[in-house]
Amino acid sequence: WIGRCRARGEETVSVDILAAGCYEGTVLVWSVDTACSPPAFSPACTLSKVHSARVLGLCFAVSEDRSATVLISADEKGVIFVWKGPSPPVFSSALPSSSPSLSLSSPPIFTAMQQVATGGNNLFNCAISPFGYAMGAVQCGGATSSVHFWPCHHLANGGHKRKGDKRAGAKMLHPRPKGLLADCHSKCEVEQAQTDCFSLSSSSSVFPRDTSKMRPFATQLIAELEEFEEEEKEDGDDNDIATSSTINHLLRVASGIYSSRLHTLKGVERSISALISSLPALFKKCQDSQAVFKAMEERGERRRRGIEEEVNADAVKKARVLSELIKHPSSTLSSRIFDEIQSNVGEDLTELMRDLQKVDAEAKARRQREGFDALHSGAYIRHTNKLPIEKGSSSIPHLLSISDKV
């Protein structure tokens, strides 16, 4: 950052602010006097304990009221920090009396003001747009690269402000293209609420003030969860409804825990209370599902003639999966698979029961018609032997059909 300021008397001194990003995650900042050769440097201000990776991107801006220099630093893990520094150099007007001026006798002081996350690694550079409307950051990962944009408030990059600029009501051209996960982790809402409540001078510069636009994905998810709760009560079995309800509570907690809206936080509180009792069932369902999917991945094999060879692998695998489903009835697959089996063999089972009832009825009528009982040993023995044969004859076709379908 280069500018000019009035020193003591009328002497004009060129003053820079120089910043350097370091491999260990620190940022060094100096005041520099460029009027002499070589330039004279102030002691360095070390900005540490915020970045945990190499700082590869740095850019400067000026607050809209020119009361502070703003430094933005970006590291390799995709984390961006906004720093508030001393008043920038001015050309003719005096510096605000409440703002510290640049001096070579002491380091320029910068304090962390806000944290931003891109939701990914390999962040290599960042920049502020010419009029301070937006911030951009370059992210490179593997074969793909992308540029992230954020709307900015309260910045006038380069100290310039367009005539008639009404920034408070200006429409931001670039929505925040962050993902849902990054939105859930972002604390921008609570940071903004804290800044507004205490009238902090370090007003948030990266996010707009409208909280509904600060975390758009998380806000949309919370609204959809409220609509979904009404719909799921109308259809679905009890087991599915219970699982869906637990998932909804988890999503509400994840997306609303950093909200600044009281209504949302009350919903988060209710969801946390509900999760205390519902998480054990979800835990059991997860374990059961793992057992079933493990059976799906195993190959059916048997040992024959001393050689390990695959025998009807598909059928054996299905039998193993069905066995696991019976042992783990709460898995996410159980209900649908058994419903499918039942629908395929239901007609055969109905006909089988009807034919067996018919054989019993005919045997009872024959016994009554012929009038024998256990005292007529020969006839009784013939009858008791004939009944299972008739039942078997009626059952075998249905059992074979069921076997084929299964």
* C-beta of residue 86 within 8 angstroms of C-beta of residue 109: yes
Domain membership of residue 301 (yes or no) is no
Is residue 150 in a domain? yes
pLDDT 10s digits, 275-321 = 999 999 999 999 999 998 888 887 544 444 444 445 567 778 888 88
Using one digit for the tens of pLDDT, what is the confidence trace for 198-225? 765 544 444 455 666 678 888 889 989 8
* Residue 87 near residue 100, CB atoms below 8 Å: yes
Contact 123, 139 (CB under 8 A): yes
Residues 6 and 151 in one domain: yes
Q: What's the pLDDT band for 89 if we cut at 50, 70, 90?
A: low
Residue 384: inside a domain, yes or no? yes
The boundaries of the domain holding residue 187 are 2-165+172-214
Read off the pLDDT of residues 261-278 as tens digits, 9 standing for 90 and up. 899 999 999 999 999 999
**pTM of the predicted structure, to 2 decimals:** 0.47
Which residues, at least 6 apart from 94, have a Cβ–Cβ distance to it below 8 Å?
Answer: 6
Do both 203 and 341 map to the same domain?
no
User: Which of 336, 238, 328, 248 has the alpha carbon at shortest distance from 284?
Assistant: 328
* Joined tokens for residue 151: 């709307």
Residue 193 counted as domain residue: yes
Residue 236 counted as domain residue: no
Task: Check residue 178 and give its pLDDT.
Answer: 59
Q: Is 17 left (phi over 0), alpha (psi -120 to 50) or beta?
A: beta
pLDDT band at 229 (very low <50, low <70, confident <90, very high): confident
Last residue of a domain, one of 199, 214, 229: 214
Residue 327 lies in a domain: no
Verify that 347 and 209 share a domain, yes or no: no
Q: Tell me if 314 is assigned to some domain.
A: no
How many structural domains are present in the chain? 2
The pLDDT value recorded for residue 234 is 58
Indicate the residue among 214, 244, 272 that finishes a domain.
214
Domain membership flag for residue 135 = yes
pLDDT per position as a tens digit, 37-52: 888 899 999 998 889 8
For 378-396, what is each residue's pLDDT tens digit? Answer: 777 777 788 889 999 999 9
Most confident segment among 102-106, 256-260, 335-339: 256-260
Say what the pLDDT of residue 128 is.
87
- The stretch 108-124 carries a mean pLDDT of 80
